[in-house]
Amino acid sequence: MNVNIVDAANAISHKLYTQRRDFHRYPEQGWMEFRTASHVAERLSQLGFTVQLGREVVSDSARMGVPDTQTMEEALACARTQGAIERWLPALEGGFTGVVGTLDTQRPGLTQAFRFDLDALPIVESEDAHHRPYKDAFHSLNNGSMHACGHDGHATIGLGMAKLLSQFASQLCGKIKLIFQPAEEGVRGAQSMVEAGVVEDVDRLIATHLGLGHPSGHVICAADGFLATTKLDVHFSGRAAHAGGQPEFGQNALLAAAQATLGLHAIGPHSQGASRINVGQLAAGSGRNIVADSALLKLETRGATAGINSYMESRAYDVLKGAAAMQGVGISIERVGAASACTASPDLVENIASCLTDYPGITQLVRHDITPAGSEDATSLMARVMARGGQATYMIFGADLAAGHHHACFDFDETVLPLAVGALTRIALND
């Protein structure tokens, strides 16, 4: 059986490469994955999966960092011109771009879920002659958006897995759920799927990522280094005045934001684990001779545990409100993203390691990697499954990279695609 899985995965290699390059050519940012989600839904339906999408799998009240209506309408119109599957678009409108495909074998067994993300990044892709997507003509056609983190590969792996699961359906038990999640970047999407009840019946959840510093052939059964995080947008509102003639009548929002930035980066580290804070964007004012009446500050906190991140977030609020009070300006703070920290289930990790020990193409199999690797909102899905008594883990399939994640020259070794498809299918069949 396992040899057949390997052969079946390798047999669709070319289709996987073609699919990945199609997704790469048409990148869509979070909550705007209209074309991508419609193609996912169409393929799942063709393969006999029960398809749920839109508000069925995304809770409106739990969405974070949603673009404005005009931006989403423009993205939807663009998706239509680029070949979105029309029959799925009504359910996706408004940015409800999650898709779940379920294969119910009608035989007793676990409900297993595999999560794949869909969204791209706000990056202008390189047009360097040595950049393979540009050289081979599958670079981004949506200027300002790029698959620079491998999510085009993740979605492709999900669809490749759907193909193999349908092929080996007679050997499966229980239910298989393939979760295609929007808005991972900025950790904005997973909690909305949790709140929609997507994982309420799940016994085992596996999320995956390509690369993340690991070379081709290396497979990590559990990436336990993800940090809990919170993303905040902070608006300071002051009062404009002539900077030379009547500065005392102004309330300087720019100064408040600047003082907040310095204060935030002065928050002391936590003694019980890694803690992070970063102001990544600050925009303020309208002219050199005008006391700035508005400022926007974007920051994030992180922590090795939810408690440490909560400490960092709480201290950030103190600093932000203090800076606003110093300048006598108003302040509003919006939470636009969040994810928890989550350690994998030991028994599931051992099960996966045993299952993949002799899988062809895996040159190094690592059970646990605790190196801090940023944050990932799949941890919200994992935490919910584990809170209900289930098991969960986050796997990494190593891939040689042309440049680092979130870089304009990002690209990955596509031979990881059939390897990941086959390995994940073997895990599903090992119930």
How is 323-336 classified by DSSP, letter by letter? Answer: HHHHHT-EEEEEEE
Q: Where are the domains of the chain?
A: 2-226+342-429, 228-338
The span from the CA of 117 to the CA of 232, in Å, is 22
Q: Looking at residue 374, what is its pLDDT?
A: 85
Take residue 109 and report the two structure tokens written for it: 């067994």
Q: Which letter does DSSP use for residue 371 in this model?
A: S
Q: At what angle do helices 13-25 and 2-11 cross, to 10 degrees?
A: 50
By C-alpha distance, which of 38, 96, 95 is closest to 72?
A: 95
Cβ(315)–Cβ(296) below 8 Å: no
pLDDT for position 431:
75
Looking at domain 228-338, its CATH class is: alpha beta
Instruction: Enter the pTM of the model.
Output: 0.93
Cβ count within 10 A of residue 113? 25
pLDDT by residue for the chain (431 residues), tens only, comes to: 456 999 999 999 999 999 999 999 999 999 999 999 999 999 999 999 999 999 999 999 999 999 999 999 999 999 999 999 999 999 999 999 999 999 999 999 999 999 999 999 999 999 999 999 999 999 999 999 999 999 999 999 999 999 999 999 999 999 999 999 999 999 999 999 999 999 999 999 999 999 999 999 999 999 998 999 999 999 999 999 999 999 999 999 999 999 999 999 999 999 999 999 999 999 999 999 999 999 999 999 999 999 999 999 999 999 999 999 999 999 999 999 999 888 999 999 999 999 999 999 999 999 999 876 689 999 999 999 999 999 999 999 999 999 999 999 999 999 999 999 999 999 999 87
State the burial class of residue 282 (Cβ atoms within 10 Å of its Cβ: 0-12, 13-18, 19+). Answer: middle
- How many Cα atoms occupy the beta-carbon half-sphere of 375 within 13 Å? 30
DSSP 118: -
Alpha-carbon distance 431 to 426, whole Å? 9
pLDDT at 3: 60
Measured between alpha carbons, how far is 334 from 355 in angstroms, rounded to an integer?
44
Question: Within its chain, how far is the Cα of 95 from the centroid?
Answer: 15
d(CA 367, CA 223): 9
The reported pLDDT for the residue numbered 2 is 53
| Residue 114 to residues 7, 70, 103, 181, 399, Cα–Cα distance (Å) | 21, 33, 12, 10, 19
Side chain identity, residue 222? A
On whether the 2-226+342-429 domain is CATH 3.40.630.10, my answer is yes
Go through 233-249 and write b for each residue having 16 or more CB atoms within 10 A of its CB, e for each that does not: bbbbebbbbebeeeeee
Whole-number Å distance between alpha carbons of 86 and 88: 5
Integer Cα distance of 194 and 201 in angstroms = 11
